[in-house]
Amino acid sequence: MNNAAVSDRSGLLDLDIDRWDAVLDVNLKGTMMMTRAAAALMPDGGTVINISSRSGERPLKNAFAYATSKGAIIALTRTCAVDLGPKGIRVNALVVGGPWTPMAERAHAHLDASAIAALRERRRTEAPIKREGSAWDVAKAALFFASDDSSWITGQALAVDGGYLLVDPSEAVRDAATHQDED
C-alpha cells in the first residue's frame, strides 16, 4: 500500500520549483518506486493499492503540485495494472476525499477551534451521505482491494469520499443550508 504523501499550498504562479520536485518525488515517484520494489517481491502475484485524492479528480485552488501528483497516481495505477497484470499483480487506487485524518489535522493546524469545527461541518455537508469520513472508511476499502473478493479488479480508482465527487460542492452546501430544518 502506497500511502506516503506531502502537500503544498501553492498555485502555479507562486509555486517554488524545489517544492514541486519534493511533492512529486514523495507522492508520485515514491509510489512508482515502491510499486516496482514490491512487484519484484511478488513472483506469485499480489496486489498493490495506491492512495490518490479527490484533488486528483477535482483540483483545489492553491494545491497545484499536490493535485497534479494525485491525478498522476491514477494514471500510474492504470499503467502499472497493464504492465504487472501478466505477473498476476493487481494494482488499484483509492481516491480519498474528506476523511478527518492526521494529515488533514496538520494541514489545518493554523486554524482556531471554531474555524476547524466549521470546516469539518462544511466537509460533512458537502458529501451526499452527510457524514464525515474517517481513516477506518479508507482502511475498509483498502482491505477490500487486498482481499480475494476483488480478485477480478485491477486498474481501478475507487472514490472513498462519501459521494463528494458526484456533486458540485457549492450546490451541496446550498442544498444543505436550504433544507437544514428537515433534519
- Which residues are designated catalytic? 66
Integer Cα distance of 157 and 134 in angstroms:
19
Residue 139 corresponds to which amino acid? A
For cell 504562479, what's the residue?
13
CA 17: distance to chain centroid? 23
Spatial neighbors of 73 by CB under 8 A, at least 6 apart, are 2, 27, 28, 31, 50, 51, 52, 56, 93
